[in-house]
């Protein structure tokens, strides 16, 4: 059995205005897992992700790759966990695309050639190779989103954490993103409303609502549970419904 790579125990978080965003959330992630975090607006998905590289801390016990989340381990943890924020504006802060994507590798102490190589590979992965000299703030929202993913891929993380990665992407680049994520063998944690993406990319799901974990389990068990999803303002994705109708064997042989 794969090793536990993330351990979250009794996580609570209150925003400064006393809004309770997470209440007693616990779950584990195993090496190589692809975990979807789903739930309605305000469920606590983004707040949870911000705990995975210590932007928020102290609300519970988090262990990543054997390291307790604390100030001593923070830098090591941040090298292992790449978080792609929902809003690319908060990820891009250098003048050019190249500088944004090179920022992490330079900070990790890579040589000039290694930095160039890492940037080229990351930009290629998100189909943005031609943009390296462009000004980041001139890009469209969807393009910024893809560069944000590249800024994290260039650091070659062990765990990739993405918040609403497909929002605002056109169909082609959403498809490219799904294929990219399917091809990346590292541990992935993806918070999203795009349940079709979850179906294709994730093997396990954690459903959050009102800051609490409602259930965790196999992706198809959860995404085919109409009553459960509707109780939490979600719906069964069309591909699951289609498979149910067209396939007497059930929908276990779903493939994209």
Binding positions for ligand ADP, rule: CB under 6 A: 15, 17, 19, 21, 39, 41-47
Sheet holding 159-163, edge to edge: 81-84, 159-163, 187-191, 34-38, 204-209, 212-218
> What, of Mg ion, ligand ADP, none, does residue 148 touch, CB below 5 to 8 Å by kind?
none
Distances in Å between the Cα of 215 and the Cα atoms of 52, 206, 212, 254 are: 20, 6, 9, 22
How is 145-162 classified by DSSP, letter by letter?
Answer: HHHHHHHHHTT--SEEEE
Stretch that binds Mg ion, among 1-9, 39-47, 131-139, 203-211 (CB under 5 A): 39-47
Cβ closest to ligand ADP, residue 69 vs residue 102 = 69
Helix and strand tally (H, E) in the chain? 10, 10
- Least separation, in Å, of the C-beta of 91 and ligand ADP? 16
19 binds, among Mg ion, ligand ADP, none (CB under 5 to 8 A by kind): ligand ADP
Q: How far apart are CA 250 and CA 256, in angstroms?
A: 15
Of the pair 11, 21, the CB lying nearest ligand ADP is at 21
Q: Which of these ranges, 40-48, 76-84, 175-183, 192-200, lies near Mg ion under the rule CB under 5 A?
A: 40-48
Q: How far is the CB of 45 from ligand ADP (least distance, A)?
A: 3
State which of residues 46, 96, 129, 167 lies at the interface with Mg ion (CB under 5 A). 46
Minimum distance from residue 194 beta carbon to ligand ADP (Å): 13
The partner in contact with residue 93, picked from Mg ion, ligand ADP, none with C-beta cut-offs of 5 to 8 angstroms by kind, is none
- Which tokens is 88 given? 């690319």
CB of 207 to ligand ADP, least distance (A): 11
End-to-end CA distance of the chain: 27
Query: Rounded to 5 degrees, what are φ and ψ at 25?
Result: -85, 130
| Span of 44-52, 58-66, 67-75, 248-256 interacting with Mg ion by CB under 5 A | 44-52
Alpha carbon distances (Å) from 110 to 107, 113, 115, 129, 242:
8, 8, 6, 20, 48
> Cβ closer to Mg ion: 46 or 168?
46
Q: Is the Cβ of residue 150 or residue 206 nearer to ligand ADP in the bound state?
A: 206
CA 170 to chain centre: 19
Residue 244 CB, nearest distance to ligand ADP (Å)?
28
Question: Which residues of this protein are in contact with Mg ion, per CB under 5 A?
Answer: 45-46
């Amino acid at each position: 059995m794969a090793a536990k790579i993330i351990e979250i125990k009794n996580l609570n978080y209150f925003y400064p205005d006393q809004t309770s965003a997470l209440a007693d959330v616990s779950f584990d992630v195993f090496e190589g897992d692809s975990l979807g975090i789903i739930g309605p607006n305000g469920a606590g998905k983004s707040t949870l992700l911000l705990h995975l590289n210590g932007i928020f801390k102290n609300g519970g016990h988090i262990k990543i790759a054997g390291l307790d989340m604390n100030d001593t381990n923070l830098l090591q943890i941040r090298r292992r966990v790449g978080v792609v924020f929902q809003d690319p504006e908060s990820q891009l802060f250098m003048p050019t695309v190249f500088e944004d994507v090179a920022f992490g590798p330079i900070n990790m102490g890579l040589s000039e050639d290694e930095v160039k190589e890492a940037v080229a590979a990351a930009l290629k992965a998100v189909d943005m190779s031609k943009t390296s000299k462009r000004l980041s703030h001139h890009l469209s929202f969807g393009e910024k989103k893809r560069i944000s993913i590249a800024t994290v891929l260039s650091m070659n993380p062990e765990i990739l954490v993405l918040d609403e990665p497909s929002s605002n992407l056109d169909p082609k680049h959403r498809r490219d993103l799904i294929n990219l994520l399917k091809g990346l063998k590292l541990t992935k944690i993806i918070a999203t409303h795009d349940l079709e993406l979850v179906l294709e990319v994730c093997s396990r799901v954690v459903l959050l609502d009102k800051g609490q974990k409602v259930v965790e389990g196999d992706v198809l068990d959860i995404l085919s549970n109409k009553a459960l999803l509707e109780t939490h303002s979600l719906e069964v994705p069309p591909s699951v419904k289609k498979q149910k109708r067209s396939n007497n064997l059930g929908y276990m042989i779903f493939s994209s």
